[in-house]
Amino acid sequence: MKKNELIQKSFEIAKERYAAVGVDVEKAMTQLQKVAISIHCWQADDVVGFEKLESVGGGGIQATGNYPGRARNIDELRSDIEKVLTLVAGNHRLNLHEIYGDFGGKVVDRDQVEPEHFKSWMQWAKEKGMKLDFNSTSFGHPKSGNLTLANPDKSIRDFWIEHTKRCRAVSEEMGKFQNDPCIMNLWIHDGSKDLTVNRYKYRQILEQSLDEIFKTEYKNMKDCLESKLFGIALESYTVGSHDFYLGYGAKKQKIVTLDTGHFHLTESVADKISAMLLFTPEIMLHVSRPIRWDSDHVVILNDDIADLAKEIVRAEALERVHVGLDFFDASINRIGAYVIGIRATQKAFLQAMLEPIAKLREYESNEQYFERLALLEEAKGLPWNAVWDYFCMKNDIAVGEDYITEVQQYEKDVTSKR
């Protein structure tokens, strides 16, 4: 039996099996097709960017490893993204940091960035059928230090306020060009390595900076704020904590970003979804995989991401939760890392969409807790992978492990020659 015939046959069996527990497989695949993942550009080049400024480390950013083939310029990065898109199903977005502008070899400091520096990105994305998202960039700059928007030094603080204002203006133009809101994420590393006695002061300054940044209202972009537990060399205190941004987001009705690597390892990010949706307009996800710390490992299909997807689907919040990735592993093939992470995220959402939720809710409402737990356990063994294989085949992309050889060939033909 040919592979496609086997996939088709397995799918038909899976379809019947799911129907027996009240799940419409076709509906689930239609839902999954609409989930647009915001693919992070910085996995392709280890968060280097294309600035001509003096590069300095710090800010809690560290890509580890030295696997050959890193993208060194815009053309190479775009080529890598184009290859990734041939190996994943669906229509996705591209998430850019400000340091990835098309600066034409010129020195453009971050408080001077303009929409024109991203016009070629807008045109390229349009040609590829993608939409763009954006991020301000506070790290890796001579004026970064330990504090940016929370810096008591007005000259430094004003520099970063201006930078962030300009990033919002860039995002507005992106959203206008693509006729779809550009989501602009604001994350700063501000904090302290050791014991801090002026915690309130720095958070008060950050609040004032944000108020200044958000004075101008836009129609074609959406603001979101990303917290962090700690940064490298800033382990004891983070100004922009989850509590800070959750309070600010609820008060100002801004989107709050949940990076799955920015919390205690025993803390459930999934549990935050239903709580935050009651008080914030939307949620932005940066899906990552922490190992012992915020290490930005490649996303895999584990319990954390499975639980996250289930909570979103159970809350019927697919329209209010935006899904983006945020990992940068320089120790393995970077194209392969993208494909593994994107596919793992899609698999998690497919599993969530195939959950027999109607019956589970019925059991819960009737206080039939044995039945609820039993069905949750049995659902783990339902043939979701047969549906996944069919979904890939239907989208005319590599099924199962077949993408490995395609990544290897791209490495042989392209990245190994860099």
* Per-residue pLDDT tens digits of the chain, which is 418 residues long: 799 999 999 999 999 999 999 999 999 999 999 999 999 999 999 999 999 877 665 566 788 999 999 999 999 999 999 999 999 999 999 999 999 999 999 999 999 999 999 999 999 999 999 999 999 999 999 999 999 999 999 999 999 999 999 999 999 999 999 999 999 999 999 999 999 999 999 999 999 999 999 999 999 999 999 999 998 899 999 999 999 999 999 999 999 999 999 999 999 999 999 999 999 999 999 999 999 999 999 999 999 999 999 999 999 999 999 999 999 999 999 999 999 999 999 999 999 999 999 999 999 999 999 999 999 999 999 999 999 999 999 999 999 999 999 999 999 999 999 9
Burial class of residue 291 in the structure, from the number of CB atoms within 10 Å of its CB (0-12 exposed, 13-18 middle, 19+ buried): exposed
Which is the catalytic residue, given 143, 242, 262, 272?
262
Which is the catalytic residue, given 296, 304, 389, 411?
296
Burial class of residue 17 in the structure, from the number of CB atoms within 10 Å of its CB (0-12 exposed, 13-18 middle, 19+ buried): middle
Which is the catalytic residue, given 83, 97, 131, 228?
228
194 belongs to the catalytic site: no
Q: How many CB atoms lie within 10 A of CB 377?
A: 9
| CA atoms of 210 and 282, how far apart (whole Å) | 18
Cα 234 to Cα 188, 189, 211, 237, distances in angstroms: 12, 8, 25, 7
- Are residue 5 and residue 151 in the same domain, yes or no? no
| Residue span of the structural domain in which 410 resides | 1-23+355-418
Question: Parallel, antiparallel, or unpaired for β 255-259 and 283-287?
Answer: parallel
- Are residue 264 and residue 381 in the same domain, yes or no? no
Which is the catalytic residue, given 40, 286, 297, 310?
286
92 belongs to the catalytic site: no
Domain end call among 299, 330, 353: 353
326 belongs to the catalytic site: yes
CATH number of the domain to which 213 belongs: 3.20.20.150
- Are residue 400 and residue 316 in the same domain, yes or no? no
228 belongs to the catalytic site: yes
| CA atoms of 345 and 339, how far apart (whole Å) | 10
- Are residue 153 and residue 205 in the same domain, yes or no? yes
Q: Are 161 and 212 in contact (CB under 8 A)?
A: yes
pTM exceeds 0.95 for this model: yes
- Are residue 204 and residue 183 in the same domain, yes or no? yes
Which is the catalytic residue, given 80, 173, 294, 355?
294
160 belongs to the catalytic site: no
DSSP reduced 3-state for 299: coil
Which is the catalytic residue, given 326, 329, 389, 411?
326
259 belongs to the catalytic site: yes
For residue 28, is it within any domain?
no
Which is the catalytic residue, given 45, 172, 207, 226?
226
127 belongs to the catalytic site: no
Which is the catalytic residue, given 45, 259, 282, 329?
259
163 belongs to the catalytic site: no
226 belongs to the catalytic site: yes
- Are residue 346 and residue 371 in the same domain, yes or no? no
Domain end call among 324, 353, 382: 353
